[in-house]
Amino acid sequence: MAFVIGTIIASFSYVVGVRLPQQQNWWWARSQCPHCQHMLHWYELVPLLSFIWQRGRCRRCHARISWQYMAVELIGGLVSALFFTVYGASLQWLLLLCLLMFCVIVSVADALYMIVPNRVLLFVGIPLCALYSLQQDVYSMIVGAAVGFTLLYTLHRITGGVGAGDVKLIFILGAIVQIQQLFMLLFIACLMGFCFFFWKRQHIMPFAPALCAATLITLYIEQLQWLTLY
% pLDDT > 90, the chain: 64
List CB contacts of 43: < 8 A, sequence separation 6 or more.
50
Which pLDDT score, from 0 to 100, does residue 227 have? Answer: 60
Q: What does pLDDT average to over the chain? A: 89
Q: What is the pLDDT of residues 7-41, one digit of tens each?
A: 999 999 999 999 998 888 777 777 776 667 677 77
Would the pLDDT of 203 be above 90?
Answer: no
* Per-residue DSSP letter, 38: P
Supply the pTM of this predicted model.
0.91
Q: Where are the beta strands (DSSP E) in 26-122?
A: none
Which pLDDT score, from 0 to 100, does residue 24 have? Answer: 81
Q: What is the mean pLDDT of residues 118-145?
A: 95
Q: How far apart are the first and last CA of the chain?
A: 27
List CB contacts of 120: < 8 A, sequence separation 6 or more.
20, 102, 105, 106, 109
Q: What is the pLDDT of residues 59-114, one digit of tens each?
A: 777 778 778 889 999 999 999 999 999 999 899 999 999 999 999 999 999 999 99
Which pLDDT score, from 0 to 100, does residue 154 have? Answer: 96
Which pLDDT score, from 0 to 100, does residue 33 have? Answer: 67
Would the pLDDT of 204 be above 80?
Answer: no
% pLDDT > 70, the chain: 94
Q: Is the dihedral of CA 185, 186, 188, 192 positive or negative?
A: positive
Which pLDDT score, from 0 to 100, does residue 105 have? Answer: 97
User: Which of 42-46, 88-92, 148-152, 214-218 bottoms out in mean pLDDT, i.e. has the lowest?
Assistant: 42-46
Return d(Cα 41, Cα 38) in angstroms, integer.
Answer: 9
